[in-house]
Structure 1
């Protein structure tokens, strides 16, 4: 390319995944532009729920409180009659499914991105892409004109029909189900219980989610209802609900009626050169369980700090490639799980349905099983533990989620761990009295934020130091203090994760971005609370 890139990263797609990624990059001090084909943000509810772990990773950057104010907590899921999963039993600041229309999630993330200095260009269509070793050039058009945009990297967050994926030549393999669910946001005269309810039988499944103001998100999938372009009517919705539930819930005043196809697909690669994919552009699966939005946002938070490190020139070898290494297995697991669940829930066999209900009811009658099921569904059990990974044993392992602990600090008041990570840096907790490991991090400048704890933390028994990744997972952990080598062990970990030593200026702008994020957080909570009221 003849010209230098105009910005560090172009994100294509201003849905939740693209906006979350833009926020991550901007918080790290990376210049970012978002290109979006739509002229205005979507007003449709679309994806509806943010699970506990997704709320936690959003809380790392200060997005969560505004989303809580705009959402509705649902503490229980009923996956079959007589079976329940209680999110209220989970050990997290967010022990529930936060039911919030996708349009409101986009609203919160877009405002935060703008506050952080992200440029969002709407009504802009990408139609060409070329790349070489120094950057990527996109051909774009809007308002009758055409031009080029260039960047160091481009990330396709442009959904199931991703233009970026197609232009990059990345295959999207999988299949389409032979059923076409009906989707509605509607009021019900005889509503089901105030939970996330999943009822199956007779070759069909109904999912009902309450989201406030008397409205319910209802999805009905039946094997005897193939795809058609005919619009959904209220009479059709009433008929399929009655067949599935055994009674007419009386749907009325629909705000949205739609019919959609279910795909199960995954991209052959999440990265090719300087082009990457995230969210629905990288993977699609059955919506049963509501995991798609959550998977995409967690893609963004995993990718953001790694891509920022690459742009800023301090990333260790292989760090950016670890995005696919870590996130692809998560997508494959969700694809397998939702496929099995969809097949079982829409089985025409009365025997299969009866056995499924009995097994679920029996298993979930045990509190321990309910807790594990809740942690799995909500994402709290997800992690990136790999064979042979260095680091301690229980209770903390490398790649494991770090809970939002209350952190004591020498000379300062205790604080929530997640509130220490607003700027997207690594966090070192030094629990030793002498604070020598906190001092070691000075050689890495502003890439690492050290906190001198100086006392044992009850939730971290046997831990003397903990290095937390910007996405809230354990990078390195040191056990009880032993003879010598403490600082050297930390240096090896910092080389592995944060590259070679360098000046603070290597991430210039991150502190300013964090300050802007804090100010934006204060502003965003006020109107959010007012709207909720």
Structure 2
């Protein structure tokens, strides 16, 4: 291994997850390069649903506006006939499901990454990987030849068939569903409602998402129609749609059509030594509900600040390991939920189909449950608990590990501002909610790692709290609900030590110790299997 790696981080995969991670690292001052096997951004839309929380975490760094400008907000999801989920009532600056073609998401994030100084190398295929205590060495090839890259860390964001995962020897356990749906972007003479629509019956399932330009994204499958290499035709698509709808909606003018496999798989570990995984390289699940792209981008935002802190030498002990302990359970929940939903949606029994419809209609007819469902699907109820969580939690106040909303606050010094605007540079935010400003004064000793804000006046959503430490990914790291001023500065200092390291200016970049390092081994030869079609095989999160 070279004595000094050439770069801090190499990201393999220039899909939304890899590009979002590159933006996070570059904004934090960490040099990184993205290697991508594809020579250009795919014109196929593939993943296209951006939920509220994903747009919020992108908005933390100012990326969201470029995506909402080209996206179409859809206010409702119809998970069954007679049942609906209203996204417009949820508490978010983005109260909708935004339909944004993945190609547009990649273009926006790639441009932002390049503007921040990231090198994006396309047409580059990874074929070798070795690591030791000092760094990682990669073997890369393009049409013009082969070369070696070295880095402190490598992150595999290279999708379902991740070379990083295979070369690192990380198991990817799970299964492939028998059903192999058709995916198509088409016009329909008789289109479904202008919402995200899910219809089921007799072992068949259809999902329809409107683009807003007359085209619909259609995913339709039947449990009796397994994988085949046969090319999809408009006649077959019409037949599959008729099985669900009871009539032929007459699809025409397809932009593209393909058959794809549905996998449910989870990496045994998200980190081995100096190699990490994110996005589809770490988890695959049924696309029902459109969670995959969102899960990957939130992986990136969780990992970015932790990896930057590790490379810059101020990370508290064990911080990088919390990437796996926080994000892998989130993926497990999504895998479990989407698996159950897919099995129910494709169940052949009309009794089960009727029961599903009746239960969803009854439950979602209640306002509180509908709001809960919308917030859950949108990612607003996902959070992290454990690190710094108090022994006793009660009431409706903000808790450690919970999402911090984009609140408007008045500053003791300066104009009113929204919290997410204060987090554009990826620092921690220390909100001092007491008049004396003691907590903010303590935080100044952490220099550029923490942005202290003296809040002027009452903030109803933070009522009963005297201080809040907000992580760079927009979740509460620590809250102080003690009204007494006795020992307050000590409590603030302890929380800052726990999350932001020791006082003083940010240390210079220094190598971090490898954890749980495992020897790299070449990718094992796979058993013969029918390959996925291009949309699945080329998917990069």
Distance apart, 1:169 and its partner CA: 0.4
1:264-318: CA deviation from partner (whole Å, max 9, x where unpaired): 0000110000000000000000000000000000000000000000111111111
Q: Does 1:159 align with 2:183?
A: no
- Consecutive unaligned residues in structure 1, runs of 5 or more: 509-533
Shift of 1:504: 4.3
Q: Label 1:102 to 1:225 Cα distance change in 2 as closer, same or farther (>3 A).
A: same
Q: 2:345 aligns to what?
A: 345
Aligned to 1:91: 91
SS of residue paired to 1:55 = helix
1:383-398 matches, within 5 Å, as 383-386=383-386, 389-390=389-390, 393=394, 394-398=396-400
Shift of 1:206: 0.3
CA contact under 8 A between 1:434 and 1:454: conserved in structure 2? no
Matches within 5 A, 1:304-323: 304-323=304-323
Q: Which residue of 2 is the match for residue 417 of structure 1? A: 419
Is 1:8 paired with 2:16? no
Change (3 A) 1:119 1:387: closer
User: Corresponding residue for 2:218?
Assistant: 218
Aligned twin of 1:463: 465
Aligned partners of 2:363 and 2:402: how far apart in 1? Answer: 26
TM-score normalised by length of structure 2 = 0.92
1:488 to 475, 487, 490: 490
By how many angstroms is 1:480 displaced? 4.5
Cα deviation, 1:431-475, whole Å, max 9, x if unaligned, reads 111212111112211000111113221111111111000000000
CA distance in 2, matches of 1:215, 1:415: 40
Matches within 5 A, 1:193-232: 193-232=193-232
Alignment correspondent of 2:455: 453
Q: Is the 2:388–2:478 Cα contact (8 Å) retained in structure 1? A: no
For residues 483 and 444 of structure 2, the distance between their equivalents in structure 1, rounded to whole angstroms, comes to 21
SS at match of 2:460: coil
Tell me the residue number matched to 1:278. Answer: 278
CA contact (8 A) 1:446 1:505 kept: no
**What CA distance in whole angstroms lies between the structure 2 residues aligned with 1:507 and 1:199?**
53
String of CA shifts for 1:51-79, please: whole Å, max 9, x gaps: 01101001101011110000000000000
Q: Pick closer, same or farther for the CA change 1:387–1:164 going to 2, 3 Å.
A: closer
Q: Which moved more, 1:460-469 or 1:142-151?
A: 142-151
Partner of residue 42, structure 1: 42
Tell me, what secondary structure is at the counterpart of 2:200? strand
- Distance, in Å, in 2 between the alignment partners of 1:455 and 1:477 is 18
Measured in 2, the distance between the counterparts of 1:316 and 1:17 equals 25
SS in 2 for 1:368: helix
Q: Residue in 2 aligned with 1:356?
A: 356
8 Å contact 2:314–2:506 — kept in the other structure? no
Match among 426, 433, 436 for residue 434 of structure 1:
436
Residue aligning to 1:405: 407
Q: Which moved more, 1:1-10 or 1:125-134?
A: 1-10
Find the residue that maps to 2:296 and give its secondary structure.
helix
Deviation at residue 411 of structure 1 after TM alignment: 2.7
3-state DSSP of counterpart to 2:446: helix
User: 1:320 Cα shift?
Assistant: 0.3
Q: Which residue of 1 aligns with 2:132?
A: 132
* Structure 2 unaligned regions, length at least 5: 511-541
Deviation, structure 1 residue 479: 1.5
Measured after TM superposition, the shift of residue 387 of structure 1 is 8.6
1:319-353: per-residue Cα shift (whole Å, max 9, x none)? 00000000001000000000000000001100000
Equivalence for 1:530: none
* Contact 2:202–2:347 (CA under 8 A) maintained in structure 1: yes
Greater helix share, structure number: 1
TM-score (norm 1): 0.94
Find the counterpart in structure 1 of residue 476 from structure 2.
Answer: 474
Q: Find the counterpart in structure 1 of residue 299 from structure 2.
A: 299
Deviation of 1:231 (Å): 0.8
Most deviating of 153-162 and 485-494: 485-494
Name which of structure 1's ranges 75-84 and 456-465 shifts more when overlaid on structure 2.
456-465
CA distance in 2, matches of 1:310, 1:381: 28
**Partner residue, 2:30:** 30
Query: Would the aligned equivalents of 1:435 and 1:454 in 2 still touch at CA under 8 Å?
Result: no
2:383 aligned with 1:379: no
Displacement of 1:196:
0.3
Instruction: Please give the secondary structure, in 1, of the residue aligned with 2:186.
Output: strand
Partner of 1:513: none
CA contact (8 A) 1:200 1:346 kept: yes
The answer on whether the counterparts of 1:28 and 1:507 sit within 8 Å (CA) in structure 2 is no
Alignment partner, residue 171 of structure 1? 171
| Partners of 1:430 and 1:332 in 2: CA distance | 36
- The equivalences for 1:231-250 within 5 A come to 231-250=231-250
Question: Is 2:74–2:98's contact at 8 Å kept on the other side of the alignment?
Answer: yes
The match for 1:62 is 62
Deviation at 1:152, TM superposition (A): 0.4
1:515 paired residue number: none
* Inter-partner Cα distance in structure 1 for 2:436 and 2:117: 40
- Does the CA-based 8 Å contact 1:11-1:18 persist in structure 2? yes
Counterpart in 2 of 1:21? 21
Distance in 2 between residues matched to 1:238 and 1:191, nearest whole Å: 12
Change (3 A) 1:505 1:169: closer
